[in-house]
Amino acid sequence: MATTGNQNINAKLVLLGDVGAGKSSLVLRFVKGQFVEFQESTIGAAFFSQTLAVNDATVKFEIWDTAGQERYHSLAPMYYRGAAAAIIVYDISNQVRKVSDAQNLMHAIPL
């Protein structure tokens, strides 16, 4: 996260979670104000940005929406690099499995 004297802040965010958890739907809602219930699966990762005024600062969120498929999990550490925050998304309709998956993701994130 970079800050300059005029209160411009860049914050890299990474969205993590299983396939179909709703990561892309959440980020599209935040960035474009649209909710897409049936979103195609992300391949690799998708990048979005959104700028907001927060108190006396302008914050530019650089958002990486990662793919949830198992075959892309080896790429995840590349997206963590330089991130100010990670958001773990899971589908509440299968809580036992999804909470376990979310906990595994949480432990994989370098602090």
Q: Give backbone dihedrals phi and psi of 87, rounded to 5 degrees, phi first.
A: -110, 120
Helix (H) or strand (E) holding 30: helix 23-32
Highest mean pLDDT among 4-13, 17-26, 52-61: 52-61
Looking at per-residue pLDDT, the higher value among 48 and 73 belongs to 48
- Average pLDDT score over the chain: 77
Q: Report long-range pairs for 59-62 (Cβ below 8 Å, ≥24 apart).
A: 59/9, 59/10, 59/11, 60/8, 60/9, 60/10, 60/11, 61/11, 61/13, 62/10, 62/11, 62/12, 62/13
Query: What average pLDDT does range 35-46 have in this prediction?
Result: 70
Q: What is the pLDDT of residue 99?
A: 66
Q: pLDDT band for 25, please (50, 70, 90 cuts).
A: confident
Separation CA 58–CA 4 (nearest Å):
10
